[in-house]
Structure 1
Amino acid sequence: MEILSVLGLLLLVCSQSGAEIIEQREGSPESLNVPQPCPSDLQAVLRGMSVKLAENRLMIQEQNAKHEVKIEQLQTLNQEQNTKLDKYEVRIEQLQTLNQEQAAKLQELENQVDSQQQAQASELKSLKTRTNETENQVESLRRDRAVGQVAFSASLRESGRGTLGPFNTHTTVVFKHVVSNIGQAYSPHTGGFIAPVRGAYHFEFYFRAHAGSHSSAIVLVKNGEHVFIAGEHQTNGYGSASNGATLLLEAGDVVFLRLWENHVIYDDENHYSMFSGHLLFPM
């Protein structure tokens, strides 16, 4: 564009100079011999412009060549980056697939852990239940054992010798000399045995009769009801009598011995007259 502008300017100048020369020729004959510089200068300028234009064309060609090389390099780089991007996208897809697989495996493991925990919790609950049942059985056995440890033996007199009776009514016999009283079911103050649990109990009683005007007789009593009786009439010396029974008692039932009215029993430091009983088994 600059070359074209300069060329136009030169043409304008030359045209003006030509006009002035013509005017001078018309006004003065001497001016016809004046030289005309414009065409030769114009040729020199055109040659210079041609050279400059060729140089510019060469430079533009070189620049275009460089630009084409740069464009090819950029295209190659772009292709390489696109190739890498494709690889990255493939890798991302692989990682996403792997992540999904790992998430699925993790969920499966969590489900397995939950299932195992539930199974363990159920087993633990069952174990606790069995443990509680075992503890209850052990406690029941302990109670049965503790309850089953019921037995006593007692004789009539703590010391000395003598007879009990006669009385004008049936009288409860209190055996005061306690040899054993396991479970504390017998009372040496009232003479009664109170059953601690429902079960089968066995009782025995012995007494010694003294010769004299009164006979000897004792009754085994359950809750005020006569069960068995033992009696002896001794006209000379000493005699003895005994009896026993196995009774089904409820918890709280009372068993004791009664001296029959107008009868007597004898005892001394040898403890002939005695009352004993024990629990056979609870029911």
Structure 2
Amino acid sequence: MKIIMFLPLLLLVCSVSADQTETAGQQSCPQDTHAALRELTISLALQTERITVLQREQGTSLETELQNQRTEANQKNQQQHVKQVAFSASLLDQGEGYTGPSNTQSTLIFKHVVTNIGNAYNKHTGIFTAPVRGAYHFDWRVYGDYHTAAGAYLFRNEEKIFLAYETQSHGWTSASDGASLLLEVGDQVSVRLWAFAKVYDSENHLTTFSGHLIFTM
């Protein structure tokens, strides 16, 4: 702003000087004055360009900061709304029967859903998907007979957590276990049948899978 105000003042001085020296036959404006004007013009152009660049950088930085704040606010808002997550399900939706054995591990799909607060458990896939970052607790129980071992793993994504396993020479058998896990948003938890194991379920709901959110983080 000071440079812009100074430029008309310099032109005025130059004009007055020209009026005073015109009768003497001297030049209307000295050579050094013209050089100073050129330097001022160049300097003003450079400063204008710098100001434009700074404004652009500040605008980009401000936009990025606002976007980060919006993202953080959305995450906090999501956590505030998802305060309660809990589910409990048994293996068969109706009737009775065995699942397994199999040569490989397979995800058990617990179709009979008793509770599904937050809709984080999918009864079509047998997979629980964490809606928020936090600590969760899971319990699972498998039931079988003496012909084949009853066993199932708890998985977090593709990570094997714990195995519930039991076998005996006669009568019915069961195995159960539990685990508390730190889950990120989108992490998946499932129960997979131990290879070569066989589990049983009926209208009494003997083979089950349950979990709930303890607290968000």
Same fold (TM over 0.5): yes
Q: Which has the higher helix share?
A: 1
Number of aligned residue pairs:
144
Residue type of the partner of 1:161?
Answer: E
Q: Please report how far the alpha carbon of residue 140 of structure 1 lies from its aligned counterpart in structure 2 after TM superposition.
A: 8.9
CA drift of 1:159 comes to 1.1
Residue 152 (structure 1) aligned with residue 101 (structure 2): no
Hey, what does 2:134 align to over in structure 1? 199
State the shift of 1:161 in Å: 1.1
- Matches of 2:80 and 2:146 in 1, distance apart? 45
Residue of structure 1 in register with 2:107 after alignment: 172
Quick check: 1:152–1:182 contact (8 Å CA) kept in 2?
Answer: yes
What is aligned with 1:251?
A: 185
**Native 8 Å contact 1:209 1:234 kept in 2:** no
In structure 2, C-alpha distance between the alignment counterparts of 1:150 and 1:208, rounded to whole Å? 26
Deviation at 1:142, TM superposition (A): 7.2
Unaligned stretches of 5+ residues in structure 2? 1-73
**2:122 alignment partner, SS class:** coil
Structure-2-length-normalised TM-score? 0.63
Looking at structure 1, the residues matched to 80 and 141 of structure 2 have their Cα atoms a distance apart, in angstroms, of: 29
Shift of 1:207: 1.4
1:6-155 alignment runs, 5 A limit: 143-155=78-90
TM-score by length of structure 1 reads 0.49
How far the C-alpha of 1:234 sits from its partner, in A, is 2.8
Q: In terms of Rg, which structure is larger?
A: 1
Percent sequence identity is 51
Identify the match of residue 276 of structure 1 among 210, 213, 216. 210
CA RMSD of aligned residues (A): 1.7
2:87 alignment partner AA: F
Higher relative contact order (CA 8 A, sep 6+): 2
Task: Indicate the residue corresponding to 2:143 in structure 1.
Answer: 208
Structure 1 letter corresponding to 2:123: P
Q: Deviations over 1:179-236 (max 9, x none)?
A: 0100000000110000001000000001112121x21110000011100001011321
**Residue 209 of structure 2: SS of its match in structure 1?**
strand
Spell out, residue by residue over 1:37-58, the C-alpha distance to the aligned partner (whole angstroms, 9 max, x if none). Answer: xxxxxxxxxxxxxxxxxxxxxx
Matched residue, 1:231? 165
| Residue aligned with 1:169, SS | coil
Query: Secondary structure of 2:170's match?
Result: coil
Instruction: Give 1 or 2: higher strand fraction.
Output: 2
User: Hey, what's the Cα distance between the residues in 1 that align with 2:207 and 2:80?
Assistant: 30
* Residue equivalent to 1:218: 152
SS at match of 1:148: coil
